[in-house]
Amino acid sequence: MKRLLTFIVIAGLGGAVLNGALTHGAQGGKKVDTRVFELRTYYANPGKMDALNARFRDHTNKLFVKHGMTLIGYWNPIDSKQAQEKLIYILAYPSKEAADKSWKDFMKDPDWNAARAKSEENGKLVAKVESVYMNPTDYSPIK
């Protein structure tokens, strides 16, 4: 199921708009030959999806960009029950080493720690996180 979801998400991303975002996005208009992508799935604690989405919308996305992460997209499942449980998103990095550095710096960022603490005053938002790093294939339209 996870592989099917990964395929569906990535296959559904195609097209000129996404290709332009990936090749010209956070790299200041420079063409990017290869990148490392990270597929992340967050499992929200019961009743916490709205707060989790708000934290991404209001804080996390800006901090990801600050730490060199390229935002590709965010999704909730179509099924309404699953949509209250899962947040799925993809980030891109110049390399796995760059990803590791970005995450290390992000986790130490005082703005992130303050936003997380504030958003979790009434309990933790996330029960579990799954992360998969991916390389594009040689025939992938997304690189």
Q: What is the pLDDT of residues 104-131, one digit of tens each?
A: 999 999 999 999 999 999 999 999 999 9
Query: What pLDDT, on a 0 to 100 scale, did the predictor assign at position 14?
Result: 42
DSSP 33: S
86-93 vs 126-134, strand pairing mode: unpaired
In the chain, the DSSP E strands lie at: 36-44, 70-75, 86-93, 126-134
Q: Are 72 and 22 in contact (CB under 8 A)?
A: yes
In the chain, the domains with their CATH numbers are 2-134 (3.30.70.100)
Q: At what angle do helices 110-119 and 96-108 cross, to 10 degrees?
A: 60
Examine the pLDDT at 12 and tell me if it is beyond 60. no
Examine the pLDDT at 143 and tell me if it is beyond 70. yes
Examine the pLDDT at 15 and tell me if it is beyond 80. no
In angstroms, the CA 40 to CA 4 distance is 15
Query: What pLDDT, on a 0 to 100 scale, did the predictor assign at position 10?
Result: 47
> How many CA atoms does the CB half-sphere of 47 hold within 13 Å?
4
- Per residue in 22-44, pLDDT (tens digit) is 444 444 444 546 799 999 999 99
DSSP 69: P
Q: What is the pTM of this model?
A: 0.76
In angstroms, the CA 91 to CA 39 distance is 7
Query: What pLDDT, on a 0 to 100 scale, did the predictor assign at position 34?
Result: 75
What average pLDDT does this structure show over 7-30? Answer: 43
Q: Please, which pLDDT band fits residue 133 given cuts at 50, 70 and 90?
A: very high
Examine the pLDDT at 21 and tell me if it is beyond 70. no
